[in-house]
Amino acid sequence: MSTPVTTIETSMLRIATAGSVDDGKSTLIGRLLYDSKAILADQLEQVQEASERRSGAGGLDLSLLTDGLRAEREQGITIDVAYRYFQTARRKFVLADTPGHVQYTRNMVTGASTADVAIILVDARHGVVEQTRRHTFIASLLGIPHLAVCVNKMDLVGYAEDVFDGIVREFCALARQLGVLDVQFFPISALQGDNVVDGSEAMAWYAGTPLLEHLETLSLADDPAGHDARFPVQWVIRDHDADYRGYAGTMAGGVLRPGDDVVVLPSGVRTRIAAVETFDGELDAAAAPMSVTLRLADNVDASRGDLIARAPSSDEIAPTVTRLVTADVCWMAEAPLRQGARLALKHTTASVRAVVDGLDDVVDISTLERVAAPEQLGLNDIGQVRLRVSRELAVDPYALNRTTGSFILIDEASNETVGAGMIR
């Protein structure tokens, strides 16, 4: 075997921000976008005109840039996720700007599900409040590996170091409670620009980097999730003339190479990787998040919904093959989830039917305590649910793999996505 590869570096970073206009979220995003040249002249002009129509001359409301829907501009709130893109010499950034209000928790979960880093905004005047706890909880639940806590409006507390230190201590206690892995703190003024893109003269006591530099240099290579080889079969490519059969899909963890012994799950059939192919030719390795085509050495039965994993060895954890799944579920429908409910469940490329065997607990979003044996999960509730599925799935705990550890629930009558699950 050649040297095992366990890390992958990409030059793209996915960021999620949560908050409302009051936190200065839009101002912060506006500054990141404007200072990195991602807001262009005609967009700025459009925002300028709209700001003036709403609040008279002189005001520039940067939230109008991201609040792209008519209803959002009318109400002055963020309702749904907006995606923004900016680029520096070091990285491309995909920023999911999500709403902060509790009634839009499902939209926040949507935007944060793929994030590498979450920006949590704390108002320096108010410290850690209920919204901070909720956002941090959701970020930790979704397994976002890095948090950047921006203590904003430092200009309104006289740029005082002890205010910042107090909030850092308070937040660290919360992070420990939630088991958050990596937290960095930034004393900023989004309005004045301190420590966002440039440093701060007013806060000479702060020895760290500005936010943008941190985002540019944050290492994703050491993130613990997804080190074991996983490949959900997505599509079988056939070419009858050439007697060709390839298993197409997206690497969901680890690395696979030609010659690797693998197991097809849930059947458990073993085979070997004959080749890792792409349209551009054969590769000597594939890692997440590459989309590739695997050719297998034996003529085995594998199809969409199956998982190809490296054959279990001492240093590789095998997925669990099961019809019973316990997961934290974020419920996203108006009608509550109750025991006995029947739903469609999509896990990687597998679609099965599921029935709710039991509701173990629900999280009280203000105290973060888990309350046992709830009657139901209402809209935006998060709780632990036991599900039985119609056919075996090969799953991992969400904490180990965000792809093979997640699923969505779909209402079979309306076809709506009604829940998001993270396997325990």
Partner 1 sequence: MSTQIDTPTLKLSHLRVLEAEAIHIMREVAAELEKPVLLFSGGKDSIVLLRLAEKAFRPGRFPFPLMHVDTGHNFPEVIEFRDRRVAELGERLIVASVQESIDKGRVQEESGPRASRNRLQTTTLLDAIEAHGFDAAFGGARRDEERARAKERIFSFRDDFGTWDPKRQRPELWSLYNGRVARGESVRVFPLSNWTELDVWQYIAEENLEVPNIYFAHEREVFKRDGMLYATSDHMELMDGEEPFTTSVRYRTVGDMSCTGAVASTAADLDTVVGEIAATRITERGETRADDRVTEAAMEDRKVAGYF
Contact assessment for residue 402 and residue 143, using Cβ atoms and an 8 Å cutoff:
yes
Q: How far is the CB of 362 from partner 1 (least distance, A)?
A: 19
Verify binding: residue 326, partner 1, rule CB under 8 A. Answer: no
Q: How far is the CB of 20 from partner 1 (least distance, A)?
A: 17
Please, which of residues 331-360 interact with partner 1 by CB under 8 A?
Answer: 332, 344, 346, 348-349, 351
Q: Looking at beta carbons only, is 42 or 162 nearer to partner 1?
A: 42
Verify binding: residue 36, partner 1, rule CB under 8 A. Answer: no
Crossing angle between the packed helical segments 161-178 and 130-141, to the nearest 10 degrees: 40
Verify binding: residue 424, partner 1, rule CB under 8 A. Answer: no
Please, which of residues 239-278 interact with partner 1 by CB under 8 A?
Answer: 239, 242, 244, 248-250, 255, 278
Q: Looking at beta carbons only, is 207 or 281 nearer to partner 1?
A: 281
| Identity at 130, one-letter amino acid code | E
Please, which of residues 380-409 interact with partner 1 by CB under 8 A?
Answer: 402-403, 406-408
Q: How far is the CB of 329 from partner 1 (least distance, A)?
A: 12
Q: Looking at beta carbons only, is 149 or 332 nearer to partner 1?
A: 332
Verify binding: residue 219, partner 1, rule CB under 8 A. Answer: no
Residue of 347, 350, 377 lying closest to 363 (CA atoms) = 377
Verify binding: residue 82, partner 1, rule CB under 8 A. Answer: yes
Q: Rule CB under 8 A: choose which of 85, 126, 364, 369 binds partner 1.
A: 85
Q: Rule CB under 8 A: choose which of 17, 27, 63, 110 binds partner 1.
A: 110
Verify binding: residue 417, partner 1, rule CB under 8 A. Answer: yes
Contact assessment for residue 88 and residue 197, using Cβ atoms and an 8 Å cutoff:
no
Verify binding: residue 46, partner 1, rule CB under 8 A. Answer: yes
Contact assessment for residue 321 and residue 305, using Cβ atoms and an 8 Å cutoff:
no
Q: Looking at beta carbons only, is 50 or 355 nearer to partner 1?
A: 50
Q: Looking at beta carbons only, is 174 or 229 nearer to partner 1?
A: 229
d(CA 187, CA 167): 10
Q: Which residues pair with 394 in a beta bridge?
A: 321
Please, which of residues 279-298 interact with partner 1 by CB under 8 A?
Answer: 279-281, 283-285, 287, 289-291
Q: How far is the CB of 249 from partner 1 (least distance, A)?
A: 8
Cα–chain center distance at 59:
34
Please report, to the nearest 10 degrees, the dihedral formed by the alpha carbons of residues 339, 341, 344, 350 taken in order. Answer: 30
d(CA 422, CA 406): 5
414 — phi, psi (to 5°)? -95, -15
Q: Looking at beta carbons only, is 19 or 254 nearer to partner 1?
A: 254
Verify binding: residue 12, partner 1, rule CB under 8 A. Answer: yes
Residues near 78 by beta carbon (within 8 Å), at least 6 away in sequence = 20, 21, 25, 63, 66, 67, 72, 97, 98, 99, 100, 104
Verify binding: residue 71, partner 1, rule CB under 8 A. Answer: yes
Residue appearing with tokens 């792809």: 403
Number of residues that bind partner 1 (CB under 8 A): 81
The DSSP 8-state label assigned to residue 189 in this structure reads: B
Q: Looking at beta carbons only, is 163 or 255 nearer to partner 1?
A: 255
Q: How far is the CB of 190 from partner 1 (least distance, A)?
A: 20
Q: What is the DSSP string of 88-153?
A: -SS-EEEEEEEE-SGGGHHHHHHHHTT-SEEEEEEETTT-S-HHHHHHHHHHHHTT-SEEEEEEE-
Verify binding: residue 322, partner 1, rule CB under 8 A. Answer: no
Q: How far is the CB of 254 from partner 1 (least distance, A)?
A: 11
Cα–chain center distance at 332:
17
Verify binding: residue 410, partner 1, rule CB under 8 A. Answer: yes
Verify binding: residue 26, partner 1, rule CB under 8 A. Answer: no
d(CA 345, CA 353): 6
Q: Looking at beta carbons only, is 4 or 312 nearer to partner 1?
A: 4
Pairing mode of beta strands 350-363, 291-296: unpaired
Q: Rule CB under 8 A: choose which of 21, 34, 68, 184 binds partner 1.
A: 68
Verify binding: residue 54, partner 1, rule CB under 8 A. Answer: no
Q: Rule CB under 8 A: choose which of 1, 89, 221, 373 binds partner 1.
A: 221
Verify binding: residue 69, partner 1, rule CB under 8 A. Answer: yes
Angle, vertex CA 189, rays to CA 185 and CA 192, nearest 5: 150
Q: What is the DSSP string of 113-124?
A: TT-SEEEEEEET
Please, which of residues 137-176 interact with partner 1 by CB under 8 A?
Answer: none
Verify binding: residue 320, partner 1, rule CB under 8 A. Answer: no
Please, which of residues 174-203 interact with partner 1 by CB under 8 A?
Answer: none
